[in-house]
Amino acid sequence: MEARNIEISEKIPASRKLQAIDAKKLIDTAKILVVAKGKKVTEFNLTDRDSEETVSAMLGPTGNLRAPTAVYGNTVMVGFNESAYSDLFD
């Protein structure tokens, strides 16, 4: 983020566990959700905001929101993939 001069407006410590209800709030106003799990990147068009598939993709095996999570414009990015982040911020 620093290399691209992107200002982080809010950091949430890992000790604060965000769950499904928090994931739903994050995508409430978003239009696109990008979920990265290793090399696999899945993009969701958020026409169905409460889709179980959409919310479950955002959660890790413990039921907590996966990290890192970024909101950029109308896009929510969950997980990390170098290429996906480059696409989002370029």
pLDDT at 33: 94
pLDDT at 16: 87
Instruction: Tell me whether residue 9 is in a domain.
Output: no
The model's pTM is: 0.85
Instruction: Tell me whether residue 1 is in a domain.
Output: no
Instruction: Tell me whether residue 72 is in a domain.
Output: yes
Instruction: Tell me whether residue 5 is in a domain.
Output: no
Instruction: Tell me whether residue 69 is in a domain.
Output: yes
What DSSP string describes 4-34?
A: GTPPP-----TTS---HHHHHHHTSS-SEEE
Its domain, for residue 38, covers: 14-89
Q: In terms of pLDDT, which residue wins out, 15 or 69?
A: 69
Our count of domains for the chain comes to 1
Instruction: Tell me whether residue 4 is in a domain.
Output: no
pLDDT digits (tens, 9 = 90+) for 25-81: 988 889 999 999 989 999 999 876 557 889 999 999 999 999 899 898 899 999 999
